[in-house]
């Protein structure tokens, strides 16, 4: 039994190591001198360390600006979607109004439409609105995704109706019920949704690439593509850029692994 458990553990550990090796190789390539990158046999742990590639990336491209753009766009889409999804979910979960079920069904059916399908019309729309190359062009369509409304509605439905009724007897209006009763009880759902929206926006690629063309307006995700030279491939630079871009995710993940995984699982209808 204990031998089997040991082998099981060993197998799992090997699998995890294998899975993370590409990331290790990325970092390793990023911090070794160019000749060593192409050395045979390859060195997993660099013999000489250099920050040269990272310096070049930061000097030649507005990398920090891209980082800033990513932060602003992801924060905005998260904030906006919270702002509009909370009252909508409340209206679906707690209020009775004419046409509620039909509107909900309409939202529901739009759940599975991927953003990619909408790229050409969104381009026209944003062009007409004069929003291309601005932050809202990216975060508005993402905040319009109905996923948050569903998650929050589901969560609100599980909060006892008696709390609302008691508050109503005491003369509370809908807004105060939402603000003082429902929201304080919904922190886990709000956190889950925020995490999901932030990661989704941070990683969005296709539409961001179309909407943002100006070099200083790119997000990290899109900007990394610009590091690819037109003719030659400099892997030291590419891997440095990738490592820098992965760093925030790694740091946040180290501290908040639990909540991130919980956020992801809560947001998905499993």
Residues 152-171 that bind another protein (CB under 8 A): none
The string of DSSP codes covering the chain is: -HHHHHHHHHHHHHHHHHHHHHHHHHHHHHTS-HHHHT-SS--SS-SS---HHHHHHHHHS-HHHHHHHHHHHHHHHHHHHHHHHHHHHHHHHH---TTHHHHHHHHHHTTT--GGGGHHHHHHHHHHTT-TTSHHHHHHHHHT-THHHHHHHHHHHTS-HHHHHHHHHTT--HHHHIIIIIHHHTHHHHHHHHHHHHHHHHH--HHHHHH--SGGG--HHHHHHHTS-SS---HHHHHHHHHHHHHHHHHHHHHHHHHHHHHHHHHS--
**Least distance between another protein and beta carbon 160 (Å):** 20
Window 99-128: residues binding another protein (CB under 8 A): 103, 106-108, 110-114, 116-125
Give min distance, CB of 112 to another protein, in A: 6
Task: Check binding of 231 to another protein (CB under 8 A).
Answer: no
Q: Which region among 55-63, 157-165, 183-191, 200-208 touches another protein (by CB under 8 A)?
A: 200-208
In the stretch 26-65, what mask flags binding to another protein with x, by CB under 8 A? x--x-------xx-xxx-----------------------
* 77 near another protein (CB under 8 A): no
**Total chain residues near another protein (CB under 8 A):** 94
* Binds another protein by CB under 8 A, chosen from 57, 140, 182, 197: 140
218: contact with another protein by CB under 8 A? no
Q: Does 191 bind another protein (CB under 8 A)?
A: no
Distance separating alpha carbons of residues 115 and 173, to the nearest angstrom: 37
**Site for another protein contains 217 (CB under 8 A):** no
User: Is residue 256 a contact point for another protein (CB under 8 A)?
Assistant: no
Cβ proximity to another protein: between 127 and 216 the closer is 127
**Smaller CB distance to another protein: residue 9 or 160?**
9
Which range of residues in 53-61, 159-167, 181-189, 237-245 is near another protein by CB under 8 A?
237-245
């Amino acid at each position: 039994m204990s031998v089997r458990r040991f082998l099981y553990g060993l197998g799992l550990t090997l699998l995890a190591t294998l899975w993370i090796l590409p990331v290790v190789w990325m970092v390793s390539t990023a911090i070794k001198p160019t000749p060593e990158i192409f050395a045979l046999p390859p060195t997993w742990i660099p013999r000489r360390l250099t920050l040269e590639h990272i310096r070049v990336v930061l000097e030649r491209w507005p990398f920090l600006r891209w980082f800033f753009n990513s932060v602003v766009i992801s924060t905005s889409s998260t904030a906006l979607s919270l702002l509009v999804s909370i009252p909508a979910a409340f209206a679906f979960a707690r209020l009775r109004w004419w046409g509620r079920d039909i509107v909900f069904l309409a939202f529901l059916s739009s759940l599975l439409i991927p953003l990619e399908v909408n790229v050409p019309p969104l381009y026209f729309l944003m062009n007409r609105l004069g929003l291309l190359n601005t932050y809202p062009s990216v975060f508005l369509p993402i905040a319009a995704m109905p996923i948050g409304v569903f998650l929050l509605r589901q969560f609100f439905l599980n909060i006892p109706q008696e709390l609302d009724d008691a508050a109503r007897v005491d003369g509370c209006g809908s807004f105060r019920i939402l603000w003082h009763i429902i929201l304080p009880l919904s922190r886990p759902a709000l956190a889950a949704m925020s995490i999901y929206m932030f990661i989704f926006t941070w990683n969005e690629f296709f539409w961001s690439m179309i909407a943002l063309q100006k070099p200083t307006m790119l997000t990290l995700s899109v900007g990394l593509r610009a590091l690819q030279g037109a003719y030659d491939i400099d892997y030291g630079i590419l891997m440095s850029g990738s490592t820098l871009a992965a760093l925030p995710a790694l740091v946040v993940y180290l501290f908040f692994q639990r909540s991130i995984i919980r956020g992801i699982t809560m947001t998905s209808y499993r």
